[in-house]
Amino acid sequence: MNINADFTQRVVINHYDLPWIASPESGVERRMLERQGNEVAKATSIVRYQPGSKFQMHTHDMGEEILVLEGVFCDETGHYPAGSYIMNPPGSAHAPYSVTGCTLFVKLRHLGPDQVEREVLDTSKADWYQGMVPGLTVMPLMRQGSGSTLVRWAPETYFNPHRHFGGEEIFVVDGVFEDEHGRYPAGSWIRSPHMSLHKPFSKEGCTIFVKTGHLLS
């Protein structure tokens, strides 16, 4: 299965416009943003667990990133409420479930050999740091290798035009993110290819998940 598998192409999707697709486990559904492969796949998805649903123990050969958007996600290591970020490194295994139900932003098989230790961050408590322009604050998520970051835009914040070596991926967590190409409300996913150019801003304010430099291959 190939969905938006050509990383040289710009893609803009709001996941609320996509159908829920059943997974092999009852009560677990996905909205597929990009995918290369079938059940073992390099993929970016929105994943929804109904209350009481679970996945069997499985291994992530090339790692996994999870941002909990709603509810409480669980596995044998703990319970992770909305705002939790989890990086499970290549070769890790777990048996995830949710008692009350949850919705996740999930990336599979995007990690490399420099991500070797599991990382967990509660973004509701972690520190924000001043960004490169006034009104912009950043929260590093993954600490190993080329990491993922949360970026918070105060209303009426504008950034300089710039290119992204290795591309850029954005998921809008809340608010409205914009650039000269369009307007992206919460739930939007934007993937821009290697050396793409834009001039981002936010008139209303927003929080976005950002990953850069990982779209060369």
**How crowded is residue 215: how many other Cβ atoms within 10 Å of its Cβ?**
20
Q: What is the pLDDT of residue 217?
A: 63
Transcribe 106-136 into DSSP letters. EEES---TT--S-EEEETTTSPPEE-SSTTE
Q: Considering only the top CATH level, what class is 129-212?
A: mainly beta
Q: What is the pLDDT of residue 142?
A: 87
Q: What is the pLDDT of residue 111?
A: 84
Contact 57, 88 (CB under 8 A): no
Q: What is the pTM of this model?
A: 0.95
Per-residue pLDDT of the chain (217 residues; tens, 9 = 90+): 899 999 999 999 999 999 999 999 999 999 999 999 776 778 999 999 999 999 989 888 888 999 999 999 999 999 999 999 999 999 899 999 999 999 999 999 888 778 889 999 999 999 999 999 999 999 999 888 767 999 999 999 999 999 999 999 999 999 999 999 999 999 999 999 999 999 999 999 999 999 998 888 6
Contact 28, 101 (CB under 8 A): no
Q: What is the pLDDT of residue 146?
A: 67
Q: Where in the chain is the domain with CATH 2.60.120.10?
A: 8-122, 129-212
d(CA 163, CA 166): 9
d(CA 100, CA 13): 28
- Homologous superfamily (CATH) of 8-122 is Jelly Rolls (2.60.120.10)
**Distance set, CA 193 to CA 6, 11, 73, 127, 189 (Å):** 9, 9, 31, 30, 13
Q: What is the pLDDT of residue 29?
A: 97
d(CA 187, CA 128): 22
Alpha helix (H) residue ranges in the chain: none
Residues 6+ apart with CB under 8 A from 172: 184, 185, 186, 187, 188, 189, 190, 206, 207, 208
Q: What is the pLDDT of residue 214?
A: 87
210: which 2 tokens? Answer: 């950002």
Q: What is the pLDDT of residue 112?
A: 75
